Amino acid sequence: MQKEELYPLIDEILPHQPVLLTDIPDIDLYVDQVTGFIEKKLAQQKRHTRDKLLTKTMINNYAKAGILIPPRQKKYSRQHIETLLMLYNAKQVLSINDISLLFSILSKPGDKHSETEENGTQPLIDLVYSLVQEINDDQAEQLQEVCEEKIGLIQEKTKNVEGETGELIEWFLLAMYLVSQAAIQKRMAEAIIDRYFSKDVPHKGRTP
Protein backbone atom coordinates (compact mmCIF):
# COMPACT_ATOMS: atom_id res chain seq x y z
CA MET A 1 0.00 0.00 0.00
CA GLN A 2 1.34 3.39 -1.03
CA LYS A 3 -0.12 6.70 0.09
CA GLU A 4 0.03 7.88 -3.52
CA GLU A 5 -2.56 5.23 -4.41
CA LEU A 6 -5.09 7.19 -2.35
CA TYR A 7 -5.07 10.26 -4.56
CA PRO A 8 -6.83 8.82 -7.64
CA LEU A 9 -9.39 7.12 -5.38
CA ILE A 10 -10.22 10.39 -3.62
CA ASP A 11 -10.26 12.22 -6.95
CA GLU A 12 -12.69 9.60 -8.27
CA ILE A 13 -15.28 9.85 -5.49
CA LEU A 14 -15.29 13.57 -4.73
CA PRO A 15 -16.54 16.12 -7.26
CA HIS A 16 -13.90 18.30 -8.91
CA GLN A 17 -16.23 21.27 -8.78
CA PRO A 18 -19.16 21.69 -6.37
CA VAL A 19 -22.50 22.77 -7.78
CA LEU A 20 -22.52 26.41 -6.79
CA LEU A 21 -25.62 28.54 -6.40
CA THR A 22 -24.65 30.40 -9.55
CA ASP A 23 -24.54 27.09 -11.50
CA ILE A 24 -28.23 26.41 -10.87
CA PRO A 25 -30.64 27.80 -13.49
CA ASP A 26 -32.66 30.73 -12.19
CA ILE A 27 -35.64 29.74 -14.31
CA ASP A 28 -38.34 27.18 -13.63
CA LEU A 29 -37.77 23.73 -15.15
CA TYR A 30 -39.89 20.69 -15.90
CA VAL A 31 -39.04 17.51 -14.01
CA ASP A 32 -37.20 15.94 -16.99
CA GLN A 33 -35.01 19.03 -17.20
CA VAL A 34 -34.35 18.87 -13.44
CA THR A 35 -33.28 15.21 -13.52
CA GLY A 36 -31.12 15.90 -16.58
CA PHE A 37 -29.39 18.81 -14.83
CA ILE A 38 -28.71 16.76 -11.69
CA GLU A 39 -27.49 13.75 -13.70
CA LYS A 40 -25.00 16.00 -15.49
CA LYS A 41 -23.76 17.88 -12.42
CA LEU A 42 -23.47 14.86 -10.10
CA ALA A 43 -22.35 12.26 -12.65
CA GLN A 44 -18.99 11.85 -10.91
CA GLN A 45 -20.72 10.69 -7.73
CA LYS A 46 -22.13 7.57 -9.37
CA ARG A 47 -20.55 4.29 -8.34
CA HIS A 48 -21.67 2.67 -11.60
CA THR A 49 -22.52 4.50 -14.81
CA ARG A 50 -25.91 2.77 -14.96
CA ASP A 51 -26.94 4.14 -11.55
CA LYS A 52 -29.70 6.75 -11.39
CA LEU A 53 -29.12 9.72 -9.10
CA LEU A 54 -32.65 11.08 -8.83
CA THR A 55 -35.66 9.85 -10.77
CA LYS A 56 -39.02 11.49 -11.44
CA THR A 57 -40.60 8.99 -9.05
CA MET A 58 -38.19 9.97 -6.26
CA ILE A 59 -38.91 13.66 -6.79
CA ASN A 60 -42.67 13.06 -6.78
CA ASN A 61 -42.37 11.01 -3.59
CA TYR A 62 -40.39 13.80 -1.88
CA ALA A 63 -43.15 16.25 -2.80
CA LYS A 64 -45.88 13.89 -1.56
CA ALA A 65 -44.02 13.39 1.71
CA GLY A 66 -43.80 17.15 2.22
CA ILE A 67 -40.00 17.14 2.04
CA LEU A 68 -40.06 19.09 -1.20
CA ILE A 69 -42.46 21.97 -1.75
CA PRO A 70 -44.86 20.97 -4.57
CA PRO A 71 -43.99 22.40 -7.99
CA ARG A 72 -45.97 25.24 -9.49
CA GLN A 73 -47.71 24.27 -12.72
CA LYS A 74 -45.43 21.21 -12.95
CA LYS A 75 -42.31 23.40 -12.93
CA TYR A 76 -39.49 23.39 -10.39
CA SER A 77 -37.67 26.52 -9.25
CA ARG A 78 -34.01 27.03 -8.41
CA GLN A 79 -34.91 26.53 -4.73
CA HIS A 80 -36.40 23.13 -5.60
CA ILE A 81 -33.14 22.12 -7.28
CA GLU A 82 -31.07 23.31 -4.31
CA THR A 83 -33.17 21.14 -2.02
CA LEU A 84 -32.89 18.14 -4.35
CA LEU A 85 -29.09 18.45 -4.50
CA MET A 86 -28.93 18.37 -0.71
CA LEU A 87 -31.47 15.53 -0.62
CA TYR A 88 -29.24 13.45 -2.88
CA ASN A 89 -26.48 13.44 -0.27
CA ALA A 90 -28.89 12.98 2.62
CA LYS A 91 -30.55 9.92 1.08
CA GLN A 92 -27.21 8.11 0.93
CA VAL A 93 -27.17 8.05 4.73
CA LEU A 94 -30.54 8.85 6.30
CA SER A 95 -33.93 7.18 6.26
CA ILE A 96 -36.81 8.93 4.51
CA ASN A 97 -38.35 9.67 7.92
CA ASP A 98 -35.15 11.29 9.19
CA ILE A 99 -34.83 13.29 5.97
CA SER A 100 -38.42 14.50 6.39
CA LEU A 101 -37.69 15.68 9.93
CA LEU A 102 -34.37 17.32 9.05
CA PHE A 103 -35.60 19.14 5.96
CA SER A 104 -38.80 20.33 7.62
CA ILE A 105 -37.00 23.53 8.63
CA LEU A 106 -36.71 24.46 4.95
CA SER A 107 -40.44 24.15 4.28
CA LYS A 108 -41.81 26.06 7.28
CA PRO A 109 -44.12 28.98 6.47
CA GLY A 110 -41.91 31.56 8.22
CA ASP A 111 -38.22 32.45 7.94
CA LYS A 112 -38.25 32.44 4.15
CA HIS A 113 -35.59 35.12 3.93
CA SER A 114 -32.35 35.87 5.69
CA GLU A 115 -30.20 38.98 5.96
CA THR A 116 -26.65 38.76 4.58
CA GLU A 117 -23.93 41.37 4.52
CA GLU A 118 -23.16 40.84 0.85
CA ASN A 119 -26.60 40.43 -0.68
CA GLY A 120 -29.05 42.01 1.73
CA THR A 121 -32.17 39.85 1.87
CA GLN A 122 -32.09 36.42 0.22
CA PRO A 123 -34.22 33.26 0.43
CA LEU A 124 -33.28 31.11 3.41
CA ILE A 125 -32.79 28.05 1.19
CA ASP A 126 -30.20 29.99 -0.88
CA LEU A 127 -28.25 30.83 2.27
CA VAL A 128 -28.44 27.27 3.62
CA TYR A 129 -27.37 25.73 0.31
CA SER A 130 -24.39 28.10 0.00
CA LEU A 131 -23.30 27.34 3.57
CA VAL A 132 -23.55 23.58 3.00
CA GLN A 133 -21.21 23.95 0.02
CA GLU A 134 -18.83 26.15 2.02
CA ILE A 135 -18.49 23.89 5.06
CA ASN A 136 -17.91 20.86 2.81
CA ASP A 137 -15.32 22.62 0.66
CA ASP A 138 -12.29 20.92 2.22
CA GLN A 139 -13.60 17.34 2.20
CA ALA A 140 -10.86 16.05 -0.11
CA GLU A 141 -8.07 17.54 2.02
CA GLN A 142 -9.57 16.20 5.25
CA LEU A 143 -10.09 12.72 3.82
CA GLN A 144 -6.54 12.62 2.46
CA GLU A 145 -5.02 13.72 5.76
CA VAL A 146 -6.97 11.17 7.80
CA CYS A 147 -6.23 8.30 5.42
CA GLU A 148 -2.53 9.12 5.23
CA GLU A 149 -2.33 9.17 9.01
CA LYS A 150 -4.10 5.82 9.32
CA ILE A 151 -1.98 4.24 6.57
CA GLY A 152 1.12 5.03 8.58
CA LEU A 153 -0.36 3.38 11.66
CA ILE A 154 -1.65 0.37 9.71
CA GLN A 155 1.68 -0.22 8.01
CA GLU A 156 3.47 -0.07 11.34
CA LYS A 157 1.12 -2.66 12.84
CA THR A 158 1.21 -5.01 9.84
CA LYS A 159 4.89 -4.77 8.88
CA ASN A 160 5.43 -8.46 9.60
CA VAL A 161 2.68 -9.54 7.17
CA GLU A 162 4.36 -9.95 3.79
CA GLY A 163 3.33 -10.26 0.18
CA GLU A 164 0.00 -9.65 -1.51
CA THR A 165 -1.92 -10.80 1.57
CA GLY A 166 -0.21 -8.15 3.67
CA GLU A 167 -1.18 -5.39 1.23
CA LEU A 168 -4.79 -6.58 1.10
CA ILE A 169 -4.92 -6.66 4.89
CA GLU A 170 -3.76 -3.04 4.89
CA TRP A 171 -6.53 -2.01 2.50
CA PHE A 172 -9.03 -4.07 4.54
CA LEU A 173 -8.07 -2.24 7.73
CA LEU A 174 -8.33 1.17 6.06
CA ALA A 175 -11.75 0.28 4.62
CA MET A 176 -12.95 -0.91 8.04
CA TYR A 177 -11.71 2.31 9.64
CA LEU A 178 -13.71 4.34 7.09
CA VAL A 179 -16.78 2.12 7.65
CA SER A 180 -16.49 2.69 11.40
CA GLN A 181 -16.20 6.46 10.93
CA ALA A 182 -19.16 6.50 8.56
CA ALA A 183 -21.29 4.58 11.08
CA ILE A 184 -20.35 6.96 13.89
CA GLN A 185 -21.05 10.03 11.77
CA LYS A 186 -24.39 8.57 10.64
CA ARG A 187 -25.35 7.92 14.25
CA MET A 188 -24.31 11.47 15.19
CA ALA A 189 -26.53 12.91 12.45
CA GLU A 190 -29.40 10.73 13.72
CA ALA A 191 -28.78 11.92 17.29
CA ILE A 192 -29.01 15.56 16.15
CA ILE A 193 -32.28 14.82 14.33
CA ASP A 194 -33.69 12.97 17.34
CA ARG A 195 -32.81 15.77 19.74
CA TYR A 196 -33.56 18.88 17.74
CA PHE A 197 -35.95 17.95 14.93
CA SER A 198 -38.13 15.08 16.18
CA LYS A 199 -41.37 15.90 17.98
CA ASP A 200 -41.65 12.40 19.44
CA VAL A 201 -38.30 12.16 21.22
CA PRO A 202 -37.68 14.01 24.51
CA HIS A 203 -35.21 16.84 23.93
CA LYS A 204 -32.77 15.91 26.66
CA GLY A 205 -30.02 18.40 27.21
CA ARG A 206 -31.56 21.21 25.19
CA THR A 207 -31.25 24.59 26.88
CA PRO A 208 -34.73 25.96 27.74
The residues with which 203 forms a beta bridge, in sequence order, are none
pTM here is: 0.82
Q: Domain range spanning residue 187?
A: 1-17+137-208
Q: Are residues 158 and 183 in the same domain?
A: yes
Helix (H) or strand (E) holding 167: helix 163-196
Does residue 23 carry a pLDDT above 90? yes
**Which of these, 144, 137, 139, 143, lies nearest to 18 by C-alpha position?**
137
Q: Are residues 26 and 115 in the same domain?
A: yes
Number of domains present in the structure of the chain: 2
Q: Are residues 25 and 117 in the same domain?
A: yes
pLDDT class of 189 with cuts at 50, 70, 90 = very high
In contact, 118 and 134? CB cutoff 8 Å: no
The lowest-confidence range among 1-15, 58-72, 156-170, 171-185 is 1-15
Q: Are residues 65 and 130 in the same domain?
A: yes
Using one digit for the tens of pLDDT, what is the confidence trace for 140-170? 788 888 898 999 899 888 888 877 788 899 9
